[in-house]
Amino acid sequence: MLATLLHGPRDVRVEERPDPRLVTGDDAVVRVVAACVCGSDLWRYRGIVDFEAPKLMGHEFVGVVEQVGDDVHGIRVGDVVIAPFYVCDMTCVHCRGGVSTSCVRRGGWGFPDDRGVLADGAQAERVRVPVADSTLVRVPEGVDVDALLPDLLALSDVCGTGHHAAVSAGVGSGKTVAVVGDGAVGLMAVLAASRLGAERVIAFSRHPDRQALAREFGATDILEERGREGAKRVHELTGIGADCVLECVGTRESIEQAVRSARPGGAVGYVGVPGEGPAWPAQYLFSTNIRVAGGVAPVRQYLPDLLDDVIAGRIRPGRVFDFETTLDGIAEAYAAMDERRSIKALVRMPEPPAAA
Amino acid sequence: MLATLLHGPRDVRVEERPDPRLVTGDDAVVRVVAACVCGSDLWRYRGIVDFEAPKLMGHEFVGVVEQVGDDVHGIRVGDVVIAPFYVCDMTCVHCRGGVSTSCVRRGGWGFPDDRGVLADGAQAERVRVPVADSTLVRVPEGVDVDALLPDLLALSDVCGTGHHAAVSAGVGSGKTVAVVGDGAVGLMAVLAASRLGAERVIAFSRHPDRQALAREFGATDILEERGREGAKRVHELTGIGADCVLECVGTRESIEQAVRSARPGGAVGYVGVPGEGPAWPAQYLFSTNIRVAGGVAPVRQYLPDLLDDVIAGRIRPGRVFDFETTLDGIAEAYAAMDERRSIKALVRMPEPPAAA
Tens of pLDDT, residue by residue over B121-158, are 999 999 999 999 999 999 999 999 999 999 999 999 99
Indicate whether B9 and B91 sit together in one domain: yes
Does A35 share its domain with A144?
Answer: yes
B228 and B311 inside one domain: no
Q: Are A286 and B295 an interchain contact pair (Cβ–Cβ within 8 Å)? A: yes
| B220 confidence band (pLDDT: 50, 70, 90) | very high
Contact B93 A240 (CB under 8 A): yes
A93 to chain B, any CB pair closer than 8 A? The answer is yes
Please report whether residue B34 resides in a domain. yes
Report the pLDDT value the prediction gives residue B356, as an integer from 0 to 100: 47
- pLDDT at A354 > cutoff 70: no
What is the average pLDDT score of chain B? 96
Total residue length of chain A: 356
Cβ of B274 within 8 Å of Cβ of A290? The answer is no
Type of residue at A137: V
- Domain identity same for B88 and B98: yes
Domain end marker among A275, A294, A313: A294
Q: Are residues A14 and A112 in the same domain?
A: yes
Q: Give B278's pLDDT tier (boundaries 50, 70, 90).
A: confident
> What pLDDT digit, counting tens, does each position of A112-122 carry?
999 999 999 99
Residue A222 lies in a domain: yes
Residues of A within 8 A of B101 (CB-CB) are 264, 289
Q: Determine, for residues A295 and B288 on separate chains, whether the beta-carbon distance falls below 8 Å.
A: yes
User: For residue A274, which residues of chain B lie inside 8 Å, CB to CB?
Assistant: 282-283, 286
Residue B351 has pLDDT above 90, yes or no: no
Q: Backbone dihedral region of B79: left (phi > 0), alpha (psi from -120 to 50 degrees) or beta? A: beta
Residues A246, A288 within the same domain: yes
- Most B CBs within 10 A among A49, A243, A280, A283, hence the mutation to make, goes to A283
Kindly state the percentage of chain A with pLDDT values over 70: 99
Across chain A, mean pLDDT equals: 96
Q: Are residues B196 and B149 in the same domain?
A: no
- Residue A353 inside a domain? The answer is no
Give the CATH number, domain containing residue A192. Answer: 3.40.50.720
Q: Which of A113-122, A269-278, A282-291, B169-178 has the lowest mean pLDDT?
A: A269-278
The mean pLDDT value for A137-165 works out to 98
Domain, as residue range, for B82: 2-157+298-348
Total domains present in chain A: 2
Give B241's contacts (C-beta < 8 A, 6+ positions apart): B231, B234, B235, B261, B262, B263, B264, B266
What is the pTM assigned to this prediction? 0.96
Residues 6+ apart with CB under 8 A from A243: A170, A175, A176, A177, A262, A263, A266, A267
- CB of A101 less than 8 A from some CB of B: yes
Nearest to A286 among B274, B282, B287 (CB): B274
Kindly state whether residue B356 falls inside one of the protein's structural domains.
Answer: no
| Position A181 in a domain | yes
Per-residue DSSP letters for B301-355?
A: HHHHHHHHHHHTTS--GGGG--EEEEGGGHHHHHHHHHTTS-S-EEEEPPPPPTT
Residues B167 and B73 in one domain: no
pLDDT tens digits along B67-99? 999 999 999 999 999 999 999 999 999 999 999
Q: Tell which of B271, B294, B317 closes a domain.
A: B294
Q: Please check whether residue A190 lies inside any domain of the structure.
A: yes
At residue A356, the pLDDT reads: 47
pLDDT digits (tens, 9 = 90+) for B24-59: 999 999 999 999 999 999 999 999 888 999 999 999
Tens-place pLDDT, residues A314-336: 999 999 999 999 999 999 999 99
Q: Could you tell me which residues come within 8 angstroms of residue A211 by beta carbon, excluding any fewer than 6 positions away?
A: A182, A203, A205, A219, A222
